[in-house]
Amino acid sequence: MQPHTHKEEVTRFCGHTAAFTFDRAKSSKDSMIQRSEARKSLCPDCVEKLIGWLSTAETKAYPVQLPEIKGTVKTAPWARQVRAKELAKYAPIMKVLSENESDPLARAALAAYNLLFTIESAKFWIDNRFFKYDRWWLTSEISSLVKDEGRFGKVYADYSAYGYYRNSGLNHIAQARQTANWNLGEPELKAVSGL
């Protein structure tokens, strides 16, 4: 009987290679999906770094230029309240990320949060008012941002800032990419070039 899982070294999108646990694939398509997911993940060291930044005790807020919320007379004020609540939670994290801007992961995380807070849609903020923009969200957003996941037909979650702008306008994504300046060293670039 075959084991249900196996570990294999996989190059993650951060450019680092680390073991990943694969489930026994039922088909070649299943295997391909698992490999794709493995390459979209961060290595354990980068996950720990991200968790450290997200668990900050920082109280100072990062200055964010907020666009005017677009919605109806009822939804716009409600959405502003939702966004203000989220900004109060994440602006101190953004401050810590800005203080670590020499790290490509911190720059990309800050770009992802900045992209989130440029969303003007009252519907987006109201529909996602209970969502947590935590490390899982952040990892997915960074992966999409730095890997240019602009593939035709790809569906993004309703709470994805990257997905929101893929559907409504790419200029914000281009600006976020420029801000992130995902600059891996030459060995890392060669390692992730097949992604």
pLDDT, tens only, 80-115: 999 999 999 999 999 999 999 899 999 999 999 999
pTM: 0.84
Per-residue pLDDT band at 123 (split at 50, 70, 90): very high
How many CB atoms sit inside 10 A of residue 56's CB? 14
pLDDT, tens only, 55-64: 999 889 999 9
pLDDT, tens only, 162-193: 989 888 766 888 888 888 887 655 333 333 33
Most distant CA pair in the chain: distance in Å? 63
Q: pLDDT value at position 153?
A: 59
Q: Is residue 147 over pLDDT 70?
A: yes
Three-state SS at 86:
helix
Measured CA to CA, the distance from residue 179 to residue 112 in angstroms comes to 10
Report the chain's mean pLDDT, rounded to a whole number.
Answer: 85
